[in-house]
Amino acid sequence: MEAAAAMSLQTCSFIGLDKAGGRNGGSVKVPNRFWEKRRVQAVRFEDSWKFSAPVRSGHAELKISCCCKKNTGSDNFHNSVDGALVLKRKSEDVLPYLNGRCIYLVGMMGSGKSTVGKILSEVLGYSFFDSDKLVEQAVGVTSVAQIFKEHSEAFFRDNESQVLKDLSSMHRLVVATGGGAVIRPVNWKYMKQGMTVWLDVPLEALARRIAAVGTASRPLLHQEPGDPYTKAFVKLTTLSEQRGKAYANAHARVCLEDIAAKQGHGDVSALTPTDIALEALIKIEYVLTEDAAVTNSRYIQG
Ligand SMILES: Nc1ncnc2c1ncn2[C@@H]1O[C@H](COP(=O)(O)OP(=O)(O)O)[C@@H](O)[C@H]1O
Ligand SMILES: O=C(O)C1=C[C@@H](OP(=O)(O)O)[C@@H](O)[C@H](O)C1
């Protein structure tokens, strides 16, 4: 049911970026023309950063017809509709508290940032961006692997920071960041303009997912010897040790082991992207309502 729910919920649309810098130049600035186009979808709010308890509106219209189209079996159909409804209702709870703030998904390669991010953007009515894709478009190449090969990791990181900086002035976006975006403190300054959410996935599950699609598109994993699972697992273990603390900077942590335990089976591979998106919304709501409560109690106390 999940693939269908995810497919039907995703409406990712990227708008091409003009090449704004030479291949051998320094960082590449995302051109203004790009943001002018996006402004149609990504509304700017001048004063949206105040944490206060919002006025709740009634339930918005539920848009589930697209989910039904993709499913065939009757069990799948019901699971999918139920899952989509629960997710949509939760998004309506969270939206007033988000107040236009962007969501930045962080996590290791293969943690599901793009998959879950597209679902979140759809239910929230936000636009979706994959920062890797924005870097590729800004540099004028078709893959991150090409940037690593023809330039360097440092060149990629500079461009990644520039993209995050440009995104940080926007609103109503869900951004799937690259797995290494967390290592530069300045990127946190940009990402923390919005809500940051860490998708915390066990290494075995990450390596299984990556092995299923191959390591070619992920240059940091591709250099290791061995079969795709071993290559991925070995390098991810090292990266996770180096980055573990950095991911923990996020406002919210979505731990797949915890979700699986809550569901009573303990099997993270049985979790669907919709389960994970729902948990992300629950965690975001928790963080934002805590902030709103603190702000309101300060206001009452004068
Ligand atoms: N919950 C999930 N269960 C199984 N596979 C998943 C799940 N979420 C994502 N995947 C798969 O894992 C791979 C990596 O997901 P992706 O969203 O691209 O991760 P990221 O953007 O964090 O690198 C993709 O092939 C995707 O289909
Ligand atoms: O973890 C990392 O350092 C990287 C993760 C990749 O993004 P995904 O997390 O989307 O695979 C991409 O940015 C690049 O290959 C480096």
Q: What is the mean pLDDT of the chain?
A: 79
Q: CA dist 170 to 25, 35, 46, 129, 301, Å?
A: 26, 9, 10, 11, 33
Instruction: Report the pLDDT averaged over residues 230-254.
Output: 94
Instruction: Report the pLDDT averaged over residues 201-224.
Output: 90
Q: Is the CB of 111 under 6 A from ligand 1?
A: yes
pLDDT of residue 221: 86
Residues shown for the chain: 302
User: How would residue 79 be classed by pLDDT, with cut points 50, 70 and 90?
Assistant: low
Domain regions of the chain by residue span: 99-301
Q: Is the CB of 115 under 6 A from ligand 1?
A: yes
Closest protein CA for atom 5 of ligand 2 = 179
Q: How far is the CA of 15 from the centre of ligand 1 (A)?
A: 23
Q: Is the CB of 113 under 6 A from ligand 1?
A: yes
Across 121-125, 216-220, 284-288, least confident range: 216-220
Q: How far is the CA of 264 from the centre of ligand 2 (A)?
A: 32
Higher-confidence residue of 120 and 42: namely 120
pLDDT, tens digit (0-9, with 9 covering 90-100), for 49-76: 333 334 333 332 222 223 333 334 444 4
- Mutation test of ligand 1: which of 87, 108, 114, 115 has the most ligand atoms closer than 8 Å to its C-beta? 115
pLDDT, tens digit (0-9, with 9 covering 90-100), for 24-36: 333 334 444 344 4
Q: How far is the CA of 71 from the centre of ligand 1 (A)?
A: 20
CATH class of 99-301: alpha beta
ipTM: 0.99
- Burial level of 238, CB count in 10 A (0-12/13-18/19+)? exposed
Closest protein CA for atom 7 of ligand 2 = 178
How is 120-175 classified by DSSP, letter by letter? HHHHHT-EEEEHHHHHHHHHT-S-HHHHHHHS-HHHHHHHHHHHHHHHTT--SEEE
